[in-house]
Amino acid sequence: SYNADLTDSLVVSGVLASDSTTSITVSGLLTSETVYYAVYAVNLGGTSLGEIRNFCVGECPASLDYHGVTYSVVRQGCDCWMGENLATTQYRDGTDIALLIPSNLATTDSGAYVAYDNDAASLYAAEGLLYNVEAMTDERGICPTGWHVPNNTEWIDMEIANGYENLITDPYTTEYRHNAYTSFYLHHLQMEGIQGTNLWYDPNFEVFNSSQMGFLPGGYLNSSGNFVSRLQLGNYLVDS
């Protein structure tokens, strides 16, 4: 939602007949930005503000090629998202990301990645790779040019675009989401048509992927160096 305020706004004045139309051109807008606007009129009776509307700036590409992998691109609200989990072994500048030795997780303090069960050539590759925090926050950038790791607000905006705000009192809470959150992901963020396959833990009911976000549960590497929870959950990092 957005509260209208005529201060600090672009104001375009004109005199219009009751059945006339007009248009304006606004420059300097940022791609994926949300622009709110309203029409207001001033006459002898005072100032009347019309309905507040909004639009998104720019379009999302249909797909994105990055270091040899093609990702679908999905619009969520006004943001463009990769439609699959990240699977790059290189930073933006082409520098290789180190391959993580699972048993060294606790002592590794630089960026690294690993495939679940160390098997990147198997079906696990469909779920993307696993990265440590250092890889996701490395100054060389793990995302393509013009892309970034989402922050918490952007992540929640994506959830809201898919109806999650109706499930809890405060959608922007920083608390761990459970129950309703799990139900939300089971129904909206799974890939359509994979019920009964080996990409989600069985049973996997009512999969319809209304979000078109192909999030798959790649599991994680725990502090003991063990791979756990594939088919059951995925851990996602947001940039706070």
Q: How confident is the model over 147-202, as pLDDT tens digits?
A: 999 987 888 788 777 766 555 556 566 555 544 444 444 444 444 434 445 566 66
Q: Considering the chain, what is the average pLDDT of its residues?
A: 76
Q: What is the distance between the terminal CA atoms of the chain, rounded to a whole angstrom?
A: 22
Q: Supply the pLDDT for residue 168.
A: 53
Residues 6+ apart with CB under 8 A from 198: 123, 231
Residue 113 phi, psi (nearest 5): -135, 165
Query: CA–CA separation, 58 vs 55, rounded Å?
Result: 10
Query: Higher pLDDT residue, 228 or 20?
Result: 228
Q: In Å, how far are 20, 103, 131, 226, 229 from 116, measured between CA atoms?
A: 62, 13, 11, 10, 10
pLDDT in tens, 50-70: 888 888 888 889 999 999 999
Mean pLDDT of 75-79: 85
127 and 216 in contact (C-beta within 8 Å)? yes
65 and 72 in contact (C-beta within 8 Å)? no
pLDDT at 111 over 90: yes
- Percent of the chain predicted with pLDDT > 70: 66
Q: Supply the pLDDT for residue 88.
A: 93
pLDDT in tens, 127-153: 889 999 999 999 999 999 999 999 878
Alpha-carbon torsion, ordered 149, 153, 157, 158, to 10 deg: 30
Q: Supply the pLDDT for residue 36.
A: 80
Q: Supply the pLDDT for residue 194.
A: 45
CA 203 distance to own-chain centroid: 26
Residues 6+ apart with CB under 8 A from 34: 54, 55, 56, 57, 77, 78
Q: Supply the pLDDT for residue 181.
A: 44
pLDDT in tens, 33-55: 778 877 777 778 888 888 888 88
Residues 6+ apart with CB under 8 A from 145: 92
Query: CA–CA separation, 85 vs 128, rounded Å?
Result: 5
Q: Supply the pLDDT for residue 122.
A: 57
- Entry pTM: 0.71
Cis peptide leading into residue 150 (ω within 30°):
no
